[in-house]
Amino acid sequence: MSQDNNKATDRPLIHFDDVSKVYFNRSVAVKNIDLRIGSSEFVSLVGHSGAGKTTLLKLLLAEEKPSNGKVLFDDTHVHNLSSRGQTKHRRRIGMVFQDFRLLEHKTAFENIAFAMEALGRSDDEIEADVPYVLDLVGLGDKNWHFPRELSGGEKQRLAIARAVVNQPEVVIADEPTGNLDPVNTFEIVQILKKVNELGTTVLLSTHDKEVVDLLEHRVVTLEDGEVVKDQEASSYQL
Ligand code: ADP
């Protein structure tokens, strides 16, 4: 791997410092990962199923502990934080999942408001920010729809709106287009690019070559838990 591609070298926002993770059943999920991601970068983690993408994201969220090495976020060793510190750390990261994870009995507006209430945001902030993020993802006319009244692509747009509303420094999208057709996949990728252009670091995991081709950003390829390629623009090949 060329060091030239490890661009965010000076003061990375995210630094996997020689990180390995071996699960209890002895499966080696990631091995000697040294990866630096700068503030406002858009990085795709790509690789076949089982390559270690989700494990890396869980390590960053401090949901899993490394067997070796350190995960640094903004120079803080995330696994040395107290549980309160880890909760605060996770609030700096917005999550988007393949299966959306929306609250089915709440409307689009309420799904987002709920995420704001959880952080103690005021009613005035909620009234102002929820319509703003719904507009941002093109759901301005769907405030009062329930998830069951939204298409798959719209559900994922709502999930992105929820992920960004509390202004996290990073958005992690773990296989966000895994359940979507090509048209919706294209739209979701465009929205994630927009989120990135507004200044948020985006970390996207995917096994889908088409997604990466749409991105034209840095692509880190994992194979059997190791980084085998780190490319600036997308010329991704499995
Ligand atoms: P990906 O997200 O690229 O599909 P994962 O990070 O989920 O890959 O998995 C990487 C490897 O670690 C796989 O071999 C998987 O079986 C193993 N693995 C993942 N999670 C666990 C776990 N909780 N316990 C044991 N092995 C796991």
What is the residue-level pLDDT of the chain in tens, covering all 238 positions?
Answer: 444 444 455 689 999 999 999 998 888 999 999 999 999 999 999 999 999 999 999 999 999 999 999 999 999 999 999 999 999 999 999 999 999 999 999 999 999 999 999 999 999 999 999 999 999 999 999 999 999 999 999 999 999 999 999 999 999 999 999 999 999 999 999 999 999 999 999 999 999 888 888 888 999 999 999 999 999 875 555 4
Q: Is the CB of 27 under 6 A from ligand 1?
A: yes
| 77 C-alpha to ligand 1 centroid (Å) | 23
C-alpha 188 to ligand 1 mean position (Å)? 25
Measured in angstroms, how far is the CA atom of residue 27 from the centroid of ligand 1? 8
Cα gap 65→197, rounded to integer Å:
31
Residue of minimum CA distance from atom 25 in ligand 1 = 23
Reference 138, options 187, 68, 69; nearest CA is 187
Cβ of 31 less than 6 Å from ligand 1: no
